[in-house]
Amino acid sequence: MSGMEQLLVENRVFNPPKAFAKQAAITSMDQYNAMCKAFDKDFNGTWARLAKESLFWKKPFTKVLDESKAPFYKWFEDGLTNASYNCIDRNIKNGMAKKTAIIFEADGGEVSKVTYQELHDRVAVFANGLKKLGIKKGDRVVIYMSMSIEGVVAMQACARIGATHSVVFGGFSAKSLQERIVDVGAVALITADQQLRGGKALPLKTIADEALDLGGCEKLKHVIVYKRTGGDVPMKAGRDKWMHDVSAGQAKVCEPEWVSAEHPLFVLYTSGSTGKPKGVQHSTGGYLLWAMLTMKWTFDLRDSDVFWCTADIGWITGHSYVAYGPLACGGTQIVFEGVPTYPNAGRFWEMIQRHKVSIFYTAPTAIRSLIKASDTDSSVHPKNYNLKSLRVLGSVGEPINPEAWMWYYKNVGGEKCPIVDTFWQTETGGHMITPLPGATPLVPGSCTLPLPGIMAAIVDEVGGDMPNGQGGILVVKRPWPSMIRNIWGDPERFKKSYFPEELGGKLYLAGDGAIRNKKTAYFTITGRIDDVLNVSGHRMGTMEIESALVANPLVAEAAVVGRPDDMTGEAIVAFVVLKGKRPTGDEAKKIATDLRNWVGKEIGPIAKPKEIRFGDNLPKTRSGKIMRRLLRVLAKGEEITQDTSTLENPAILEQLKHAI
């Protein structure tokens, strides 16, 4: 039985524990259905009520949704607000000045805490420091840092002065960083001397210097460096400043810049199916509203909770569920610098035990690697730790396979914690389809039902609705407040990518295939419909990796596909034709290693192909089109049953079976 068929017949159901449901924010399916009905009855009015109840508005909005220039939708546009004020000041005004906002655990295990008042003061002095450098509303600031309180402070300080931030994951290469600095037109870069991961000090500032040396960054006037390790890094006079020097002597009060709800809070780059990364632009008001609502609805966040999302601030999950959502709700959260396997694979469980974490949110890849680790070393199995503080578990980044779900449910949650399997994307700003822990009967491997207000559906190639039980393309039929507003500087690409004409120009195309269960109407995501791979929850365009490979002087041609992988969900398989003859034996191994390192340097380590296969050429039709469907079959190690008569050179299929 294939994985897909298995998903379709998954019939294990786990109801929310009665005691949990009783105290939950949303207590039953009846309540969920009533919330959905409120949107059906008065869509704009319901969103307006939630926005007024949830956010502080310096100037209240009078317009809710403006659809006049669809698909460039606007929400609460004439309202004035500020994300940093909503995340920090408002909580202080509500008597939470002394409440712990962030518990930071460093790679080496050192723990430091900041209260809401301390966080406010750190954000204010840094924001004033940025203003003194001449950084103002509408400027773009790139942040290239690892997980740290300073990373969150940098994001919040930008939001406070109305500067639009663009965070680049600390694992990306100099070239990836340079492309993003150039595309967004950044005036400043905030980075660190180094980052600590798994006991190793890894460079950040030297990579940042390398990025700026690549050229095209003329607008960038300031590089601000957080001293994390004290490692020796060159500082360029006039351009480079230490973060503590920028903050020194600044006032602990910084009046927020009140901006339109539509003001771009951030631009976050994500891989597209063409080589060029897409700058996903998010608003302030609508984005923050949904980050708050999903914290309350999906995670059932309470005042007493210790929330831990393990994602890095370089990804959307680290924006919505580290830097903004938990703070906007006045929560206490863990920020973790390290990796789940250092000093051993019990690190997550040990931290949950130590900090009494009650809501834990991580990726299926992490879960699968920890299953494997506890199978080989019983001392790091979750059963050895006290995990009784947990009450909600979450999964993010990619679909979770039912077996990993069951292990998580039994061994981490002790069969008493609901698992919220959340489907969403960089572009959606927050959760779209997810169980509600106090209401939704859970099915392993299914993200279940859309949140209230999210009009998700499955359609065919021309936008017609598909019946339940038949797979198709996942779309969202109505706009929602935290949706992508544009691709930075490329409105045409935005329309083509997300609101294609062939679907009528009004349906949001998620880029994923999905199927709904015949009986329950639950959604199960079946994978990407475009050439985008999902490796460990990170999206990467095949084109991006192909372009990097072809840029190597040895390579004539390359094609990249994904294949299922037990650990990472999807693994990158590269089919490569060299300019010289096809290598074999040790030579092939050496070239494969060199090419992996090359891709790591061009894009970042996460993009390194797991397998490289060399051939005299690639399978093409007589018209010269690469037959990717064949490559996918080869990558999976399956027998080719398709017609290969249109192939130019069928003999190469044998060559391409051999992986290195």
The DSSP line for 554-602 is: TEEEEEEEEEEETTTEEEEEEEEEESSPPP-HHHHHHHHHHHHHHHHHH
Tens digits of per-residue pLDDT, 58-87? 999 999 999 999 999 999 999 999 999 999
Mean pLDDT of the chain: 93
pLDDT exceeds 80 at position 280: yes
**Contact predicate 382/413, CB 8 Å:** no
What does the pLDDT read at residue 95? 98
pLDDT band of 273, cuts 50, 70, 90: low
- 557, with CB counted inside 10 A (0-12, 13-18, 19+), is middle
Structure tokens at 150: 């300073």
pLDDT band at 2 (very low <50, low <70, confident <90, very high): very low
CB 174 within 8 A of CB 130: no
Predicted pLDDT at 6? 42
Q: Residue 361 is inside which H or E element, if any?
A: strand 359-362
Asked which of 26-35, 282-291, 649-658 is least confident by mean pLDDT, the reply is 649-658
Question: In this structure, are residues 59 and 489 in contact, taking their beta carbons and an 8 Å threshold?
Answer: no
Give the pLDDT score at 165.
98
* Tens of pLDDT, residues 600-629: 998 999 999 999 999 998 887 665 667 887
**Which DSSP letter does residue 157 get?**
H
Helix axes 174-184, 205-213, angle to 10 degrees: 60
Length of the chain: 660
Closest by alpha carbon to 345, among 382, 392, 387, 383? 382
**C-alpha to C-alpha distance for 387 and 357, rounded to whole angstroms:** 8
By CB atoms closer than 10 A (0-12, 13-18, 19+), residue 401 is buried
Question: CB of 603 within 8 A of CB of 551?
Answer: no
Question: How far apart (Å, rounded) are the C-alpha atoms in residues 234 and 116?
Answer: 34
Geometric angle at alpha carbon 39, from 36 and 40, rounded to 5°: 90
CA distance linking residue 575 with residue 611, whole number of Å: 8
CA distances from 274 to 497, 532, 551 (A): 11, 9, 15
pLDDT digits (tens, 9 = 90+) for 513-569: 899 999 999 999 887 777 778 888 887 878 778 888 988 999 988 999 999 998 888
Q: What are the φ/ψ torsions at residue 415 (nearest 5 degrees)?
A: 60, 20
Which runs of consecutive H residues, i.e. helices, occur in 255-339?
285-297, 316-318, 325-328
Coil, helix or strand at residue 126 = helix
Return all residues near 245 (Cβ < 8 A) that are at least 6 apart.
none
Bridge partners of residue 528, in order along the sequence: 512
Tokens representing residue 154 in the block: 């940098």
Mean of pLDDT values over 209-221: 97
Contacts of 501 (CB under 8 A, 6+ apart): none
Pairing of strands 140-144, 188-192: parallel
- pLDDT value for 408: 97
Given the structure tokens 């906002």, which residue do they identify? Answer: 101
For the CA atoms of 75, 76, 81, 82, the dihedral, rounded to the nearest 10 degrees, stands at -10
Task: Select the more confidently predicted residue: 244 or 566.
Answer: 244
Give the per-residue pLDDT at 386: 98
Which are the contacts of 411, defined by CB distance < 8 A and separation ≥ 6?
Answer: 374, 381, 382, 383
343 cis-preceded (ω within 30 degrees of 0):
yes
- For tokens 């399978």, the residue is 619
Name the phi and psi angles at 412, rounded to 5: -100, -45
317 φ/ψ angles, rounded to the nearest 5 degrees: -60, -35
- Strands of 37-137 (E only): list them: 65-66, 74-75, 80-81, 100-105, 111-115
Residue 180: closest CA among 270, 264, 311: 270
Query: DSSP alpha helices (H): ranges in 275-412?
Result: 285-297, 316-318, 325-328, 347-355, 364-376, 402-407
Arithmetic mean of pLDDT, 357-364 = 96
> How far apart, in whole angstroms, are the C-alpha atoms of residue 46 and residue 3?
39
Q: What is the pLDDT at residue 28?
A: 97
Please tell me the pTM assigned to this model: 0.87
Amino acid at 604: G
Cβ contact 320:426 at 8 Å: no
User: What DSSP state is assigned to residue 154?
Assistant: H
DSSP codes joined into one string, 597-628: HHHHHHT-GGG--SEEEE-SS--BBTTS-B-H
pLDDT given at position 5: 40
